[in-house]
């Protein structure tokens, strides 16, 4: 790649590509935004680095204030990190610190979903529900207790999505009882799944049920909104879609940095932070915690999200894109499902739409579709996790700045891509 602007990349040979994935679902504001670049340059001329144990910075305060204003009244404090994995682990460590300071030092176990994705560092990986990753790294990152994720597509035979979500709630309650409620520290979940199962959301009752179970057992509820936050789903936080099920802690990254500089954050309420502060503090810091340069970029990004109406645009353009994807799916023999919310969308690739049968794993359909898409000037995010146990899918997650004609162009290129791939499969007698 030679340059990027808006929703586009240009390669050295002059070809233009639509970034239909926002990188790894991160570049919410698109590439080369002048206001963000200006904020970074101005901050770099003042001070690029100041360690928070020695100094506060105007950029850090501005970013935290803007983030809390967008997040709403539930949260009063921000801990700034350098990325999503660090934000998740900050939540894990803060939850443990809070429990110990509260006199509940037996609380040490985490529960999370299978499948799920929470990051690449060892602590975050222990939460991640991916059997292939656990096979490789489980010996050095013992996995948390797992409960079935409330998937909407690949669910046990004979169950509806609602049945499966109720089963997931039952398993959450049973897992807490099995571990001993006094030993369970936190339940960590993605409100809408990201890279583990492709934009799958649970029925509305699920979120209320999780909140009630966690409250009943004194278990801290952590939402991993690294991928879903910053307007991606048509609300600043995905948790805003379910106001009756407020989490206790939230991890953020990706969209709040929009790919410009490494940046993440933990959101926490005053009642938890005040208790920790009164009883010894939070023994946690990183070199790039609250870096002024990254915070200046973050503040400019949050300002742009508000001033440019990008949350509303994510909802409107997401509805348009979803309608086009459903039209494509009706005419495609290999799209088994279209799902997601706002501009967090995914399509599932299958060999048989009626049975949901996957294509053979050795075909590696996500990778091949990604190659064809590049030839059509389209950058996708193909995914397969858990060794293919939960299917093959493509994340369709363009920047939130996309407008209607660009949505239609994206969809047309995607349709051509899928038709070309379908022709290959017919030729090879795979469908």
Which pLDDT belongs to residue 102? 96
Which pLDDT belongs to residue 386? 87
**Distance between CA atoms of residues 233 and 340, nearest Å:** 8
* DSSP helix/strand/coil, 6: strand
**Distance between CA atoms of residues 130 and 225, nearest Å:** 18
Among 394, 344, 410, smallest CA distance to 25 is for 344
Question: Could you tell me where the beta strands, DSSP code E, fall in 350-431?
Answer: 378-379, 381-384, 392-396
* Blockwise average pLDDT, block size 10, the chain, 431 residues: 97 97 97 97 96 92 98 97 97 98 97 96 95 91 95 93 97 98 98 94 97 98 98 98 95 97 98 97 93 97 98 98 98 97 97 95 95 98 89 96 98 98 96 92
Residue identified by tokens 């948790």 is 239
* DSSP helix/strand/coil, 126: helix
Task: State whether the Cα torsion 34-267-96-278 is positive or negative.
Answer: positive
* DSSP helix/strand/coil, 127: helix
| Helix, strand, coil tally for the chain in percent (to 5) | 45, 15, 35
Contacts of 136 (CB under 8 A, 6+ apart): none
**Distance between CA atoms of residues 315 and 400, nearest Å:** 9
Among 87, 90, 107, 88, smallest CA distance to 99 is for 107
Contacts of 365 (CB under 8 A, 6+ apart): 334, 349, 359, 392, 421
Q: Domain 34-307 belongs to what architecture?
A: 3-Layer(aba) Sandwich (3.40)
Domain ranges in the chain are 3-32+309-427, 34-307
**Distance between CA atoms of residues 123 and 142, nearest Å:** 9
**Distance between CA atoms of residues 260 and 253, nearest Å:** 11
Exposure string (b/e) for 246-276, b if CB count within 10 Å is 16 or more?
bbbbbbbbbbbbbbbbbbbbbbbbeebbeeb
Query: Tokens for 28?
Result: 């919410």
Q: What's the farthest any 2 CA atoms get from each other in the chain?
A: 69
Among 51, 43, 22, 66, smallest CA distance to 301 is for 66
CATH top class, domain 3-32+309-427: alpha beta
**Distance between CA atoms of residues 383 and 348, nearest Å:** 10
Geometric angle at alpha carbon 262, from 257 and 265, rounded to 5°:
65
Alpha helices in 199-291, H assignment, sequence order: 204-217, 270-278
């Amino acid at each position: 790649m030679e340059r990027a602007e808006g929703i586009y990349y240009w390669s050295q040979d002059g070809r233009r590509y639509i970034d239909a994935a926002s990188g790894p679902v991160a570049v919410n504001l698109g590439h080369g935004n002048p206001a963000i670049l200006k904020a970074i340059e101005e901050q770099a001329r003042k001070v690029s680095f100041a360690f928070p144990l020695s100094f506060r910075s105007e950029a850090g305060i501005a970013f935290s204030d803007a983030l809390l204003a967008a997040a709403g009244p539930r949260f009063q404090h921000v801990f700034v990190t350098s990325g999503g994995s660090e934000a998740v682990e900050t939540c894990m460590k803060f939850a443990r610190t809070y429990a110990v300071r509260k006199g509940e030092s037996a609380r040490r176990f985490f529960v999370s979903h299978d499948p799920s994705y929470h990051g690449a560092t060892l602590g975050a990986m222990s939460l991640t529900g991916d059997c292939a990753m656990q096979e490789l790294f489980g010996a050095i990152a013992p996995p948390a207790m797992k409960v079935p994720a409330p998937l909407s597509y690949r669910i046990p035979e004979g169950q509806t999505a609602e049945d499966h979500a109720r089963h997931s709630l039952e398993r959450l309650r049973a897992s807490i009882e099995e571990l001993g409620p006094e030993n369970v520290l936190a339940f960590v979940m993605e409100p809408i799944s990201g890279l583990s199962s492709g934009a799958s959301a649970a029925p509305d009752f699920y979120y209320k049920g999780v909140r009630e179970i966690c409250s009943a057992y004194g278990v801290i509820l952590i939402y991993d909104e690294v991928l879903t936050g910053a307007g991606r789903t048509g609300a600043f936080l995905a948790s805003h879609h379910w106001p009756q099920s407020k989490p206790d802690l939230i991890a953020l990254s990706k969209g709040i940095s929009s790919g410009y500089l490494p940046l993440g954050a933990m959101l926490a309420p005053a009642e938890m932070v005040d208790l920790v502060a009164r009883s010894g503090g939070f023994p946690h810091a990183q070199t790039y915690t609250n870096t002024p340069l990254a915070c200046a970029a973050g503040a400019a990004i949050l300002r742009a999200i508000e001033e440019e109406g990008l949350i509303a645009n994510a909802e409107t353009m997401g509805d348009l894109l979803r309608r086009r994807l459903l039209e494509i799916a009706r005419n495609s023999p290999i799209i088994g499902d279209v799902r997601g919310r706002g501009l967090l969308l995914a399509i599932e690739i299958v060999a048989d739409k009626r049975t949901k049968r996957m294509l053979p794993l050795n075909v590696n359909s996500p990778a091949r579709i990604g190659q064809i898409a590049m030839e059509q000037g389209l950058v996708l995010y193909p995914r397969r996790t858990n060794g293919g146990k939960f299917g093959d899918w493509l994340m369709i997650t363009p920047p939130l700045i996309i407008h209607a004609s660009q949505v239609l162009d994206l969809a047309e290129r995607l349709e051509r891509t899928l038709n070309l791939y379908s022709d290959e499969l017919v030729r090879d007698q795979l469908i």
